[in-house]
Amino acid sequence: MKSCSIMKREIVQYFSAPYFYVLMTIFLVLSGYFFYTDTVLFNLMNFRGTTSLTRGLWAYYFNDLRFVFILIMPLITMRVFAEEKKLGTTIELITTYPLKDIEILTGKVLACLVVFVFMLSLSFINVIIIGIIWDFGEIASVMSGYLCIFFLGFALISCGVFVSSLTDNQIVASLGTMGLFTLFWFLTWNEMIVSEEGLKILKRLSLFDRTFDFFRGIINSKDVVYFMLFSFYFLFLSLQSLGSRSWKGMK
């Protein structure tokens, strides 16, 4: 499949770029730090052994992991299209090959997903450590948490790829993506100035408010549907952005 060729090329590009290893280091340091602090907090709270791992540790850990990805994801997605547009017009090279826009987009998004899952999988060491020290009894809720992070990551990737398709400057792409993520994060913060009805609507639109049930081990179908719709909406916008060269300037 042609998307596979694009995906392979993109993955090789990521793993041969020094900045990617810096990014992985930042991710591991931050996720490790959050894991350490959340474990210490759990230890303090679990004085009589009454707090479950899910509520006392994993919910906080996955909560903190979201913020790490708000920071990391724009730096993964910024180069997806912006680099091609800048790099001596390789965008012209690739769009004059017999490739459909959706094949180009699929290949690039899959590459981002592979890279993201690879990074995320490195944090699984924390689960193994807790499992050895404590137990693997609440592994289902851990998996639910990771599933949520995966859906969130897919949504953030779609958003980041769309912003990258709008510009030829990677800095602008990463800052724009970070700005969008922050907006979705802050959407429900100002509860006092919004009416009750308004708050209900904002909560439904908020990406990050949909993660709490997952972290408690509950997979809510409406949250899964929301994540999927969010992701595919931005992928649709990316496709339109990519295809705009076919109709711009036409009479």
Partner 1 sequence: MIEVENVTKEFGSVTALKGVSFRVERGQAVGLLGPNGAGKTTIMRVLTCFFPPSTGVAKVCGMDVIRHSLDIRRRTGYFLESAPLYVTMSVSDFLFFVCGVKGVKRSHRKNEVSEAIELCGLQHVGNRLIGNLSKGYKQRVGLAQALINQPQVLILDEPTIGLDPEQVFGIRKLIKVLAGERTILLSSHILSEVSMLCNKIIVVNKGRTIAEDTSKNLNTILQGNILTKVQIEGVPRLVIRELEKVKGIFKVSTHEKRADNILEYLIESDKSLDFCKALCEIAFSNNWILRGVQTLKLSLEEIFLKLMAQEEKKN
94: which residues sit within 8 A by CB, 6+ positions away?
84, 104
Residue 98 binding partner 1, by CB under 8 A: yes
Q: Please, what is the Cα angle at 115 between 112 and 118, to 5 degrees?
A: 145
> Which DSSP symbol is given to 136?
S
Residue 240 binding partner 1, by CB under 8 A: no
For 249, the token pair is 């300037």
State the nearest-atom distance from the C-beta of 231 to partner 1, in Å. 25
Work out which of 50, 96, 195, 221 binds partner 1, going by CB under 8 A.
Answer: 96
Residue 133 binding partner 1, by CB under 8 A: no
State the nearest-atom distance from the C-beta of 21 to partner 1, in Å. 14
Taking CA atoms, 59 is separated from 1, 44, 159, 248, in Å, by 39, 16, 25, 48
Considering beta carbons, is residue 193 or 250 the nearer one to partner 1? 250
Residue 22 binding partner 1, by CB under 8 A: no
Structural contact between residues 82 and 108, judged by C-beta atoms closer than 8 angstroms:
no
Work out which of 25, 37, 43, 90 binds partner 1, going by CB under 8 A.
Answer: 90
Query: Which span sits near partner 1 by CB under 8 A: 12-20, 142-150, 188-196, 225-233?
Result: 12-20
Residue 18 binding partner 1, by CB under 8 A: no
Structural contact between residues 81 and 244, judged by C-beta atoms closer than 8 angstroms:
no
State the nearest-atom distance from the C-beta of 75 to partner 1, in Å. 18
Q: Which of 9, 24, 8 has its CA nearest to residue 87? A: 9
Q: Which of 210, 215, 209 has its CA nearest to residue 144? A: 215
Coil vs helix vs strand at 194:
coil
Work out which of 97, 118, 124, 189 binds partner 1, going by CB under 8 A.
Answer: 97
Considering beta carbons, is residue 20 or 233 the nearer one to partner 1? 20
- Where along the sequence are the contacts to partner 1 (CB under 8 A)? 2, 4-6, 8-9, 12-13, 16-17, 87-90, 92-100, 245-251
